Each structure stands twice: as C-alpha cells, then as structure tokens.
C-alpha cells in the first residue's frame, strides 16, 4: 500500500503523466534524460522494452491535474521516446 490509500492497477495515458512526486534533476519536464549519466540505464530499459521483456508497472500518484511519477522515470521516458500511448501503472491517490 502507498500513501494515499491502496494502489490500483490502471493503464494510464502517457500524456496524463504531468510531473514527479519528488523533485528530480535527472529528467527534464518532458521526461527526457537531463544528462549522459543516465544513458546506460535508459538504454538497458529501452533494450528490454524492444526485446519484449516484461517491465514492472510504474508507480504513479493521481491528483486532479494529472498523474505524478513515484517510481519509473526511466520507463516513462523510454515509453514516450518510443511513442507509446499508455503505460501500465500502480496508481494511488483519491479515486477519480
């Protein structure tokens, strides 16, 4: 269980992911890596995705203005770069 109530599994539109719960300098506001230091991990996530490996759902917090990333910044970044429309997630926060 996460803060804000039990998590529920959802498929979330990537366009509805609007920020992060905790401030990060590792990714820009569009979830692109902000430095080359993240490159190796980002490439491993992208390679796993392209191979069809099952990646764990990201963890998001729902707020009235959108979803905020708790865990899964690299997976969000890769999904956006590969032009996915949505992503599997564990979501907490008040029910919509």
pTM of the model: 0.85
Please give the Cα distance from 17 to 93 (Å, whole number).
14
What are the Cα distances from residue 54, in Å, to 36, 47, 76, 82, 86? 25, 11, 14, 16, 15
Q: What is the pLDDT along the chain (96 residues), one digit of tens a residue?
A: 345 567 899 999 999 999 888 777 778 777 888 878 888 888 899 999 889 998 999 999 999 999 999 999 999 999 999 999 999 999 998 766
Complete domains list, the chain, with CATH: 8-92 (3.90.1530.10)
């Amino acid at each position: 269980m996460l803060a804000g109530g039990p998590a529920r599994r959802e498929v979330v539109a990537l366009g509805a992911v609007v920020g992060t719960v905790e401030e990060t300098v590792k990714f820009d506001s569009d979830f692109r890596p902000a430095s080359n230091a993240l490159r190796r991990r980002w490439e491993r996530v992208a390679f796993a995705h392209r191979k069809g490996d099952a990646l764990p759902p990201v963890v998001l917090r729902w707020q009235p203005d959108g979803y905020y990333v708790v865990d899964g910044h690299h997976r969000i970044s890769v999904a956006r770069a590969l032009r996915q429309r949505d992503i599997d997630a564990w979501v907490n926060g008040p029910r919509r």
